[in-house]
Each structure stands twice: as structure tokens, then as C-alpha cells.
Chain A
């Protein structure tokens, strides 16, 4: 059973369209991170959201952390082929050590 669920699992859209991917859990996280992984590469950190209800914008990407710090969304405006990749969310749990739980990812393909 995945502690973090992501939807949709796969997404194929035309260049210029908007999209939203979701990351959900029944657990509360201290913070939540979003990564993008391109084929043949490791994940690269895009953003960390810490406060419930927080919204962060990075150019065409908008990240939101749920009020209860259990879920998050990533919205991309006017998608471009360069946005293609696997989007992973990761929740941080502060236990006796920093425990990072990764979701299974959303595979995005933007068609020119």
C-alpha cells in the first residue's frame, strides 16, 4: 500500500494545454517536495512546500500544499515539450530521523 498516492498515473497532452497532477495521503507531513525526473537521469528537486495552504509559483508551475498538510497539487500552465518527465511528490516525516516517502509518480508527455 502506497503511503502517498499520485494521480493521474499517466498524462499525455498537447503543447499549450494546462494540467494538474495530484498527490494525496492519509498521513500528515512536515513538508512536501516535488521532483521531476527525466529519462536516464535522477530526480531533480523543483520545490518544497512547508506551510498548510501554501502556494508557490515557479514560472508556469504552481504548487499548492493542502491546509491539513496531507495533499498537494502541481498545476502547469501552457505546457511545453520540455515539461515532459516523471513528476514525483515526496513527503517528509520528522520521526527519530528525517523519513522521506516518495509517491509512485505521474508520467507526463507533452506532444509538440
Chain B
């Protein structure tokens, strides 16, 4: 079974621009979560999509948005880029089922490395 894929792997943008990142989940997975990873803040949860609806959201400004398509593929958009948006953006897919204390196992993609100049 193919893993989670993310495109592009690397991206360089300048301040003020916008960017769209793409994530293809594992086949059969209906949940896609997005995370921002930086050396100072670690892994920070952005949002989760399930069946084309945003189910959960972290504490990020409205410049960060996302969507999910009927085939579960997801895109994340960042508008009006700032220098501080430079980070590794990870997406993780899961079945989207409640498994009690075990949690819903997430499978991470390799990430998109975004550099804002």
C-alpha cells in the first residue's frame, strides 16, 4: 500500500506571496491532519479534515486554510506569507475512527519544506 505523499517537497517563496501544498493520503484513509514543524515550536497542529469537512482546528491565524476533496486528498493554503512561516509542513492520514484510548493511528508524509525569504 502506498504511503502518504506530499507535493512539492521543497518550496521557496517571498514574503507576501501565497502557497498551496498538497497531500495524498493512504488509500482508504478519510482523515487528513496538517502540522507545522519548526525547531523552536516543534510539531504544532494546524487542522484536520474528515469527509471534506474541517473537523478540528489548532491555534493558527486565518491565513492558514485547507480543504479536502471527495477522494480524501487535501490541500493547505497559506496566504500573505511571513518569514515566520518557514517550516516543515507535515500531513498525516488516518482512518478517522474513534479507537478509544488507542487513538486513531496517524501515518505521516515526508513533509514539504517551505522557506520564506
Contacts of A45 in B (CB 8 A): 105-107
**Which A residues lie at the B interface, using CB under 8 A?**
2, 30-31, 33, 40-45, 48, 50, 88, 90, 92, 94, 97-100, 102-105
Complex Cα distance, B108 from A43, in Å, reads: 6
Q: How far is it, in angstroms, between the C-alpha of A88 and the C-alpha of B42 when the chains are bound?
A: 9
Most interface-central of B92, B100, B101, B102 (chain A CB within 10 A): B101
In contact, A41 and B110 (Cβ under 8 angstroms)? yes
Given A33-B103, A42-B4, A102-B42: 4 more A-B contacts, CB < 8 Å: A30-B101, A45-B107, A88-B43, A98-B104
Judge if B109 is at the interface, Cβ distance under 8 Å. yes
The answer for the CA separation of A93 and B68 in the assembled complex, in Å, is 25
- For residue A95, which residue of chain B has the nearest CB? B56
Tell me which residues across on chain B come within 8 A of A88, comparing CB atoms: 42-43
Number of A-B contacts (CB under 8 A): 57
Chain B contacts for A92, CB-based, 8 A: 101, 103
Q: Please, how many residues of chain B have a CB less than 8 angstroms from a CB on the other chain?
A: 25
Say how far B105's CB is from chain A's closest CB, in angstroms: 6
Partner of B110, one of A40, A50, A97, A105: A40
Offer 5 A-B interface pairs, CB within 8 angstroms, sorted by A. A2-B42, A31-B103, A42-B110, A43-B108, A98-B103
- Please tell me if the beta carbons of B101 and A31 are within 8 angstroms of each other in the complex: yes
How far is A99 from B41 in the complex, measured between Cα atoms in Å?
Answer: 17
Give B contacts to A, CB under 8 Å: 4, 35, 41-45, 48, 55-56, 90, 92, 98, 100-111
The closest CB in chain B to the CB of A93 belongs to B103
- Return chain B residues, CB-CB under 8 Å to A50: 101-102
Complex Cα gap A94–B35 (Å): 19
On chain B, the residues within 8 Å of A90 by CB distance are: 43
In the complex the two chains form, what is the Cα distance from A90 to B37 in whole Å?
14
CB <8 Å contact, B42 and A105 = yes
A97 to B42, Cβ gap below 8 A? Answer: no
The CB with the most chain B CB atoms within 10 A, among A42, A44, A103, A105, is that of A42
**Complex CA–CA separation, A17 to B42 (angstroms):** 27
Q: Which of B35, B44, B98, B102 has the most CB of A within 10 A?
A: B102
